[in-house]
Amino acid sequence: ARAMLRGAIAMAVPNVRASFQAGKGANPPLVVLVHGLESHSGTWDAVRARCASPDGPHRDRAPAILALDLRGHGLTPLGDEDDFSPAALAADVVACARAHMTPGAGRDTFTIVGHSMGSRVALRAAADFPESVDHVVVEDMDCSIRSAPKFDHDALRRCVLTAPTREEVVANLAAAMPDVMTRERCEGYVARGRIVDTSGSSAGEKPRWTSLVNPLGYALAYERVLAVDDAALAVKQIERFAAMRKPAPVVHLWRAPYDEPTTCARKDGLGGVEWILKRDGSSEWAVRDCAFEGAEHSVHNTRTEAFTDAMVALVMDGTDAPGRL
């Protein structure tokens, strides 16, 4: 499941694990894919596969793709807990993207696609580095403040993520956060590729299973990214850039329909989708909204073809997705 993750990128702190897929065509642009809560870079495998397919619709033209594991997610270590914040996560994303851009190629901007919690990191990156980000896609998320569960951080710090058997890993996760990570939920991580075999290939090496979901990373992301107003502030900041005729990344809301039970894109209220759309107070800036019919919260995995094709059109040609797909 981790075969596509081909190396570590040294960054500020900690080292962010990322996988890079070369684009197709002349001087292809870069798109950075940021996963959501309780996830990792492998969530984008189907999107990457459609772009890479030699027989697919993007066999001749496709963007370069960078998929990364945020701090405390996947195979990226958590680092210093005190440094865990939307701004730090956003700086990691931008530094990683810049490290993968070809010097002298004439391109110094890229697109960020963020799913769920990752879209809030993407918005912060666009607000803090507007000269580097030309488009930011917010996948099935809004900017409203979420209520975080009560976490036992000491128990989460003690959680061992690697064990000789996957059953032991499941038990460790369930014991660390029983109210959130139930045993049934943790067993589902195996089927979804979030508890994986990380044994080496050497003869006689003992089996080793690892959780790509870090309970402490989950808690910090919930408390410091989802349960705060940073995303709303980022949207307002981008809007002000446009009003001042400064570089302003275009924000795209790609979401499941409002009547989809799994959607995390709330329509109404402070920070909701309608609130974001009303932020468009400048003729120099606009928010684009697109609902993917039949999609669930993970739009890119439930409407993979439509999502990937829309992403390629946006990144390669600047073409906006229509209001409904």
Quick: pLDDT tens for 242-301: 888 777 899 999 999 999 999 999 999 999 999 999 876 556 677 899 999 999 999 999
**For residue 215, pLDDT beyond 90:** yes
265 belongs to a structural domain: yes
Residues 126 and 274 in one domain: yes
Q: What is the DSSP letter of 231?
A: H
Q: What is the pLDDT of residue 208?
A: 92
Residues 124 and 268 in one domain: yes
β-strands 30-34, 16-21: how paired?
unpaired
Residue pair 32/312 in contact by the 8 Å Cβ criterion? no
Quick: pLDDT tens for 35-59: 999 999 999 999 999 999 999 999 9
Our count of domains for the chain comes to 2
User: How many Å apart are CA 23 and CA 92, to the nearest integer?
Assistant: 22
- What does pTM read for this prediction? 0.93
Q: What is the pLDDT of residue 283?
A: 60
Q: What is the pLDDT of residue 248?
A: 86
**For residue 9, pLDDT beyond 50:** no
Alpha helices in the chain (DSSP H): 45-52, 86-99, 117-128, 153-158, 166-176, 183-191, 215-221, 230-243, 273-277, 299-302, 304-317
Residues 252 and 114 in one domain: yes
- Pick from 213, 238, 257: which residue ends a domain? 213
**For residue 7, pLDDT beyond 90:** no
Task: Kindly report the CATH number assigned to the domain that includes residue 276.
Answer: 3.40.50.1820
Q: What is the pLDDT of residue 102?
A: 75
Residues 195 and 57 in one domain: no
**For residue 1, pLDDT beyond 80:** no
292 belongs to a structural domain: yes
**For residue 4, pLDDT beyond 60:** no
Helix (H) or strand (E) segment spanning residue 84:
none
Q: What is the mean pLDDT of the chain?
A: 90
Residues 104 and 232 in one domain: yes
Residues 75 and 172 in one domain: no
Q: What is the pLDDT of residue 203?
A: 66
Residues 288 and 255 in one domain: yes
Domain that holds residue 82: 18-146+221-317
User: Distance of CA 128 to CAs 88, 91, 124, 264, Å?
Assistant: 11, 8, 6, 24
- Pick from 191, 213, 235: which residue ends a domain? 213
* Nearest CA-CA partner of 32 in 128, 112, 125: 112
Half-sphere exposure of 5 (CA within 13 A, CB side): 21
9 belongs to a structural domain: no
Q: What is the pLDDT of residue 160?
A: 96
- Pick from 213, 237, 254: which residue ends a domain? 213
